[in-house]
Amino acid sequence: MAKINFGGVEEDVITREEYPLSKAQNSLQNEVVAVIGYGVQGPAQSLNMKDNGINVIVGQAPEFTKDWDRAVNDGWVPGKTLFPIEEAATKGTIIQYLVSDAAQRAIWPKLKPCLKEGDALYFSHGFSITYKDQTGVVPPENVDVILVAPKGSGTSVRRNFLAGSGINSSYAIFQDFTGKALDRTIALGIAIGSGYLFPTTFENEVFSDLTGERGVLMGALAGIMEAQYDVLRENGHSPSEAFNESVEELTQSLIRLVDENGMDWMYSNCSATAQRGALDWLPNFKKATLPVFRKLYKRVKKGEETKVVLKKTGHPNYKDELDAELKIMRESEMWQAGAQVRKLRPKK
């Protein structure tokens, strides 16, 4: 493991240089990786491993025809590399449990009996294990229980893999029955195309992940964009101007500068007026949002957010209700303006 200094704190990370793909292939040469679920993470991780020469099969419920057909269209062959969930889990030695959190609770009574002594049960989210009192997911003692959690959506995991860069991932060991859980975990992390791997625990992964999704990465970002857009519109600015100042400049310019060299470098490449305003107003936004983030983290740690997730996503009409909520967002003036702005971008 490489010692990396993160702002004065040393952490152990694993890079592709010290654990190359050839080593991962050797570690996994006698394994059959059964990817359960072809929804969000399943397609990316399975295709990346397949491209990296790992023996992979997919388990997907045939009655969910959209996901089953997608797997077929991606080259998985029914009866050869594509099976119903229980059949795939029985054939696998590493079972990657990549269905949604609510579905993990629902499917677990059928999946658990398929696990054989010495198998590895793999997660990309600490949700089901950490909140076992709510999910009922309690693995048998005679299997490894491991985690590799890419820090990006399935779409990004696949896209970055094809670009050669990869998505950074965290990893954790919850249960090491075989004595080879760590090697299995790192090999899988490299096989799915991780840029580098950093250690965590199942608890820390889900606490940080649920906070991040509700906070900066999604919830807070969308809320701040809408608030600024509304203020600009209230003061007579056009939809195009309000959207460009609230969203387009961030996504098309500034965030790319942050990605390259950090926030300070982005500031240094903006006008003096922008720099001064950003530095002066940063403390105000931090002061306003810090109590919200503290409240959010407490709710995550207590399992309150988990209750909401399982309640709202664990019933048959969930997808219809979600589509209705997303439709409201999509048809709002701000995102309708965004659709028009995207059409005006120069064609690549």
Of 163, 140, 157, 216, which Cα lies nearest the Cα of 191? 157
Residues of the chain with pLDDT under 50: none
What gap in Å lies between CA 172 and CA 54, rounded to an integer?
Answer: 21
Of 139, 112, 100, which Cα lies nearest the Cα of 314? 100
Say which of 105, 125, 184, 233 is annotated catalytic.
Answer: 125
Residue 346 to residues 85, 141, 338, 342, 343, Cα–Cα distance (Å)? 44, 57, 15, 9, 8
The per-residue pLDDT for 303 is 95
Of 78, 68, 15, which Cα lies nearest the Cα of 37? 68
| Chain segment 71-119, per-residue pLDDT in tens | 999 999 999 999 999 999 999 999 999 999 999 999 999 999 999 999 9
Q: Which residues of 97-130 are buried (b: 16+ CB within 10 A; e: fewer)?
A: bbbbbbbbbebbeebbebbeeebbbbbbbbbbbb
Classify residue 144 as left (phi > 0), alpha (psi -120 to 50) or beta. Answer: beta
- Domains of the chain are 2-200 (3.40.50.720), 215-344 (no CATH)
Q: Is 315 a catalytic residue?
A: no
The residue whose two tokens read 């810090």 is 290
The answer to whether 58 and 75 have CB atoms below 8 angstroms apart is no
Close Cβ partners of 60 (under 8 Å, ≥ 6 residues apart) = 36, 37, 38, 42, 67, 68, 71, 82, 83, 84, 85, 88
The per-residue pLDDT for 4 is 77
Provide the angle, in degrees to the nearest 10, between the axes of the packed helices 304-313 and 101-111: 80
Close Cβ partners of 304 (under 8 Å, ≥ 6 residues apart) = none
The answer to whether 61 and 88 have CB atoms below 8 angstroms apart is no
What gap in Å lies between CA 152 and CA 291, rounded to an integer?
Answer: 26
The answer to whether 31 and 93 have CB atoms below 8 angstroms apart is yes
| Chain segment 145-172, per-residue pLDDT in tens | 999 999 988 999 999 999 988 889 999 9
The per-residue pLDDT for 50 is 98
Of 156, 22, 48, 36, which Cα lies nearest the Cα of 84? 36
| DSSP conformational letter for 126 | S
The per-residue pLDDT for 347 is 80
